[in-house]
Structures are given as structure tokens and as C-alpha cells.
């Protein structure tokens, strides 16, 4: 079977990484425009770098959890694509091999002038004055508000072709990804795992609760299918 897993910050919450919205969220009491836009980086690059350096260190110290591992285990029997809004690398570290990072990757830096000039940045901070090959300041290789979401066509192709679709840990508040849940037209089963949701998308079974509780159960069932 072809399976697509669409994940958001909630799948990494039980690994100790904060979500964006809700209690304890990164955007709580902060305007996202002051930290996650090209304008914010132009205005106060140190503030933006500090925010991402802090989050990079948290990702480095975090471990994949039972939900990431269950998603990876699905590859034993199925063709699995993970479409993730997460910039962490916990899906890969759990063993998933086909991961589309639509909002970029925090463990990579890139030139602020030439997006294709990239550099692995696993072990240290990006500092003001760290330059790419083209002489421009390095920045995190993440997608900021106002920038183009990546892998749109690929993600939509995989979602449309999926036999099973699992959505986990996303508030579905950010476009265009929020709209992608409506494109799984061929899926025999559509499941969403979330402790709370403003509204369950049409055609989905909502498993109310945490990723580590529900994702391993869904994966076990799909491994037997």
C-alpha cells in the first residue's frame, strides 16, 4: 500500500520539542512575524538567529519517540512518504527514508542571498558573521512566512495517490498545508491524531489523544493489513 503521513509539531511534543500554538507554544505571547519572516531577519538578525540556535540545540538533544518509530516501521511492508511541516530531523533519525520537509530543515544553514548554497549545521550555532561561499550571511534553511513552501507538487501527488492517509500533530492553521488534508481522494482510510482540533476535517476518523498513544496502534493495524 501507499501510505502518506502528514505531520506537524505535535508528533515531536513527546520528544520534548515545543509546539507553536496552544499552552507552552513557541508562538505564545510572541508575534511570529518578529521571528519567522525575512523582514525580521533583516531588522534584527541576532534575535532571529538566537531563536533558531535555541531550537537547533533542543532538536540535537531530543530523541525520536514511539510515534516517529511507528511511522518508520510502516516501511517494512508499505511505500511510505512523510510530508512534514517540522524542521526537526526526528523522522529521519527514527528510520523514515522518504521525508518531504515542506517548511525546510533546521539542521541545515543556507546563504541568505543564494537559497541553493547550503551547509550542514548539526553541531553548532549560526553566528552573525558566519558567511556562505557567496559572502552572504548564513541563515537557517527553514521556510519563513512569506517564503515559498517546498515540495508542493510532490506532496500533493503523493497525497492524491495514497491508499491510507495519517495526519498527526498539526493544528491545520497554516496554509497551504492545511488544505492538503482534502486531497487524499483515493485513501480507503483517513485518520487524524490530535488531542484537540478546532474542527475535524470531513472524511477523517479523529483519534483524540497523543501521538505516542495512537500512532503505534494505527501503524500496527496497517502493518497487518
In the complex with ligand OAD, the residue whose CB is nearer, 149 or 156, is 149
Cis bond before residue 176 (omega within 30° of 0): yes
> C-alpha distances in angstroms, 193 versus 29, 36, 165, 199?
26, 27, 11, 12
Q: Give the list of residues 6+ apart from residue 115 with CB closer than 8 angstroms, or none.
A: none
What span, in angstroms and rounded, lies between the C-alpha atoms of 190 and 12? 21
Of these residues, 68, 91, 103, 214, which one is catalytic? 103
Quick one: which of 221, 223, 172, 218 has its CA closest to 67?
218
Please give the C-alpha separations between residue 132 and each of 35, 150, 200, in angstroms, as whole numbers. 21, 21, 44
Binding to ligand OAD by residue 36, rule CB under 6 A?
Answer: yes
C-beta closer to ligand OAD: residue 97 or 173: 173
Does residue 10 belong to the site contacting ligand OAD (CB under 6 A)?
yes
Q: Which stretch binds ligand OAD (CB under 6 A): 14-22, 43-51, 52-60, 112-120?
A: 14-22
Given its phi and psi angles, is residue 200 left (phi above 0), alpha (psi -120 to 50 degrees) or beta? beta
Q: Is 91 an annotated catalytic residue?
A: no
| Site for ligand OAD contains 15 (CB under 6 A) | no
Nearest to ligand OAD of 24, 135 (CB atom): 24
Site pattern 76..115 for ligand OAD (x: CB under 6 A): ---------x-----------------x------------
Catalytic center residues: 103
Q: Catalog residues that contact ligand OAD under the rule CB under 6 A.
A: 8-10, 13-14, 19-22, 25, 32, 36, 85, 103, 143, 145, 169-171, 173-174, 193-196, 210-211
Amino acid at each position: 500500500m501507499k501510505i502518506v503521513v502528514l505531520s506537524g509539531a505535535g508528533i515531536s511534543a513527546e520528544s520534548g520539542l515545543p509546539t507553536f500554538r496552544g499552552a507552552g507554544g513557541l508562538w505564545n505571547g510572541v508575534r511570529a512575524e518578529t521571528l519567522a519572516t525575512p523582514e525580521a531577519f533583516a531588522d534584527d538578525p541576532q534575535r532571529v538567529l538566537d531563536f533558531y540556535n535555541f531550537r537547533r540545540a533542543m532538536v540535537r538533544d531530543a530523541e525520536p519517540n514511539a510515534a516517529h518509530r511507528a511511522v518508520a516501521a510502516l516501511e517494512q511492508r508499505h511505500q511510505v512518504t512523510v510530508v512534514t511541516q517540522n524542521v526537526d530531523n526526528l523522522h529521519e533519525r527514527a528510520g523514515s527514508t522518504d521525508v518531504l520537509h515542506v517548511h525546510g530543515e533546521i539542521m541545515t544553514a543556507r546563504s541568505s542571498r543564494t537559497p541553493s548554497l547550503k551547509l550542514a549545521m548539526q553541531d553548532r550555532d549560526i553566528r552573525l558573521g558566519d558567511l556562505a561561499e557567496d559572502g552572504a550571511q548564513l541563515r537557517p534553511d527553514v521556510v519563513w512566512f512569506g517564503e515559498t513552501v517546498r515540495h508542493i507538487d510532490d506532496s500533493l501527488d503523493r497525497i492524491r495517490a495514497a491508499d491510507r492517509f495519517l495526519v498527526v500533530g498539526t493544528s491545520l492553521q497554516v496554509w497551504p498545508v492545511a488544505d492538503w488534508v482534502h486531497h487524499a481522494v483515493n485513501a480507503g482510510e483517513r485518520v487524524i491524531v490530535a488531542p484537540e482540533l478546532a474542527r475535524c476535517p470531513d472524511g477523517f476518523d479523529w483519534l483524540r489523544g497523543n501521538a505516542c498513544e495512537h500512532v503505534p496502534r494505527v501503524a500496527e493495524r496497517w502493518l497487518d493489513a
